[in-house]
Amino acid sequence: MKKVLVTGAGTGLGKLMAIALAKAGNQVIASVYAVSEIESLKEFAVKQNVNLTVEKLDISNAEDRERAATWNVDVLINNAGIAETGPLAEIPMEHFTRNFEINVFSALALTQSIIQNMVKSNIAGQIIFISSVAGLITKALTGPYCATKHAIEAMAEVLSEELKDYNIKVTVVNPGPYDTGFNDAQMLEMKKWYDPKKNFTQLTEDSFKFPLEQYSPEELIERIVKVVSGEVKLFRNLLPESFVDIVKDYQADLWVKENN
């Protein structure tokens, strides 16, 4: 049994993975952004017949991060995050920087606290970053989110080298378009600031809809459970499998792409 901290467990993938990890016999601390989410997650866990410790953890809050470092977890799953969308040439900088504050800076700050406690306590731990296929490829209007996930890829790769001597493993999980509500919500973020009378980028109603087919997340949750158990030891875990070739082809094309 491992002690696992899942951030952003109030909704979506985080909620599903917390339940699945608990069912697999792990001691799970499911953290949520707001106090108001605590009771609903506890009630959901009862209905699923699993035991969860539910904690309030805003990863952008220094006091919350310091408290989380005292939980002596074996595994940290960095899942909490947000997604802004919009053309990079026009998105207000406060929207762009907010993505980095949450997805990158706050995630790294929490990770540092957890790692330092692992080293101090001689814990053979694991850090798992829930990145995205957007950390490996890009698409118009998703630049802010893609940029943060590309940064997470770099952090994970560096940490995996730096922590080898301390018996701390680093793993990346790259979900494709899974249907949890997150993808649809992110496309609507542009409506908070986009004004066709002021912005030169021409958008239609279809621009605010997620453009790809979305999949049921069961296989992804199953992979995460296997990563935590050690059954799967891969550094990078990209699902659905059909996206592996898509990503490799995309990256290869960049080497021969010409500007028109």
Is pLDDT at 53 greater than 90 in this prediction? yes
pLDDT 10s digits, 20-44? 999 999 999 999 999 999 999 999 9
The domain that contains 230 carries what CATH number? 3.40.50.720
Is pLDDT at 180 greater than 80 in this prediction? yes
Span 162-168, average pLDDT: 97
Q: What is the pLDDT of residue 132?
A: 97
C-alpha dihedral, 66 to 156 to 237 to 247, nearest 10°: 130
Number of domains in the chain: 1
Distance separating alpha carbons of residues 35 and 159, to the nearest angstrom: 31
> Is residue 128 domain-resident?
yes
Find tokens 């659905």 and name the residue.
Answer: 240
Q: What is the pLDDT of residue 89?
A: 98
> Is residue 197 domain-resident?
yes
Nearest of 88, 85, 81, 97 to residue 191 by alpha carbon: 85
Q: What is the pLDDT of residue 101?
A: 98
Pairing outcome for strands 236-239 and 75-78: unpaired
222 pLDDT band, cuts 50/70/90, is: very high
Pairing outcome for strands 27-32 and 53-56: parallel
> Is residue 259 domain-resident?
no
Q: What is the pLDDT of residue 212?
A: 86
Q: Which two tokens stand for residue 3?
A: 């002690």
> Is residue 260 domain-resident?
no
Nearest of 75, 181, 161 to residue 125 by alpha carbon: 75
Global pTM reads 0.96
Q: Which domain holds residue 60?
A: 3-254
DSSP 36: G
Is pLDDT at 260 greater than 80 in this prediction? no
pLDDT 10s digits, 80-113? 999 999 999 999 999 999 999 999 999 999 999 9
Half-sphere exposure of 145 (CA within 13 A, CB side): 24
Region of 25 (left: φ > 0; alpha: ψ -120 to 50; beta: rest) is left
> Is residue 118 domain-resident?
yes
Is pLDDT at 211 greater than 90 in this prediction? no
Is pLDDT at 241 greater than 90 in this prediction? yes
Q: What is the pLDDT of residue 200?
A: 97
Average pLDDT, the chain: 96
